Amino acid sequence: MANTNYAENWYYLAFSYFGKIGPGGMKKIEKAFGNPKNAFNLSPSELIKAGIPQKIADDFFSWRKTFSFDLAAHQLIRESIKFITWHEPNYPFLLQEISSPPYILYYKGNIESVPNKKRLAVVGSRKSSPYAEKIINDILPPVISSGIEIVSGLAIGVDSLAHKLTLKYSGKTIAVLGSGLSRDCLYPASNLNLADSIIDSNGLIISEFPPLTPPLSQNFPQRNRIISGLSQAVLIVEAAAKSGSLITARYALEQNRDVLSVPGNIYSNFSIGTNNLIKEGAKLIAASDDVLEIFNIQNQSNYQMSNQKLFHYFPKNNYEKQIIEAINYLNEKGETATADELIKIIKLDTATINSTLSILEINGAVSNNGFSFTLN
């Protein structure tokens, strides 16, 4: 039964825990009764009169007898989870604009709502390719440095790359989950440390699902409307012909958000979705300036200019990547990239560095100037 010690917003939480009344049903409840607190103890027949289907009204009547506000409160406190409802001032401003915003958000981190805050959603394949990693590393840093927040879904692959790069460049990132925020349910479990890093870096992880909700497959399309709803634009980096990222793109179109797509290899299955989006009218993204143009921001960063040398050759493995980055770092500082300096920076054994340098030289990625190396 209802505990009168709990404020009105806790009744949104109660209906959320019930799980069978979504935003549309909550709007009916508010229209008929003013708020969910007034509806909580009503009979099924009264709920039916408000437009709630009979089966759901009957189920709620039975479920209500088992629900404990105190137990829910203890659960939130134990997991350091907070919640906010759709009528509260800090509820995300952009999310209020969509047709079916969640009436409650559970969150950890900084949920401060800034009406004119610029946000870009970045989504893509869970089996991201080296191409996707290069795209993200080349395009996102100037976007992050411009103050645009990066929104994604914490999934492995492109989502994780986007979150991690945002943290690397001291930006704010928001992760929207398709599970509850309890550490036992947070999905994927392999990204628990990443979720902690996001929170510790003034970021935010959110979900519309109660804390102990498992990552059910039907939750993720529902989650995707929040990813796009929080953002002014959605960037799809890689997507197969049937991809969850395309669901996010569809929501973005419905919500009047800009859809941006990175073109890919026409022979790659991971590019079918992104290339089709471009054919259907999505903005082609080939550089960070293309993204910044959407937000009416001039690229003030010299990151792309300083890394143009990296665009002509993509490292085949982590050794090549480390050596190319180290040479570029030394060259940009005006220092000589000798083998000895590379050994100091990279901490790999001499044989590995020398053999990798030889391969890079054969492939035309670097030039050997007698005693030092430069990027081609």
| 121-177 pLDDT, tens digit each | 999 988 888 888 888 999 999 999 899 999 999 999 999 999 999 999 989 999 999
341 pLDDT above the threshold of 60: yes
Q: Which residues are CB-contacts of 169 (< 8 A; sequence separation ≥ 6)?
A: 140, 141, 144, 145
Predicted confidence band of residue 308 (pLDDT cuts 50, 70, 90): very low
Residue with the bigger pLDDT between 54 and 4: it is: 54
Fold of 307-375: Arc Repressor Mutant, subunit A (1.10.10)
CB atoms inside a 10 Å sphere around CB 369: 11
> pTM of this prediction?
0.78
Looking at residue 3, what is its pLDDT?
Answer: 54
Strands (DSSP E) contained in 32-187 are 82-85, 104-109, 119-123, 149-152, 173-176
102 token code pair: 């969640």
> Could you tell me how far CA 231 lies from the centroid of its own chain?
10
Taking the domains of the chain in order of start, what are their residue ranges?
9-79, 109-300, 307-375
Average pLDDT over the chain, rounded to an integer: 89
Instruction: Calculate mean pLDDT across residues 363-368.
Output: 82
Pairing of strands 104-109, 204-207: antiparallel
Three-state secondary-structure class, residue 326: helix
The span from the CA of 230 to the CA of 172, in Å, is 13
371 pLDDT above the threshold of 50: yes
Looking at residue 311, what is its pLDDT?
Answer: 41
- Give CATH for domain 109-300: 3.40.50.450
Give the 3-state secondary structure percentages of the chain, helix then strand then coil, rounded to 5. 50, 10, 40
Looking at residue 301, what is its pLDDT?
Answer: 47
**Measured between alpha carbons, how far apart are the two ends of the chain, in Å?**
72
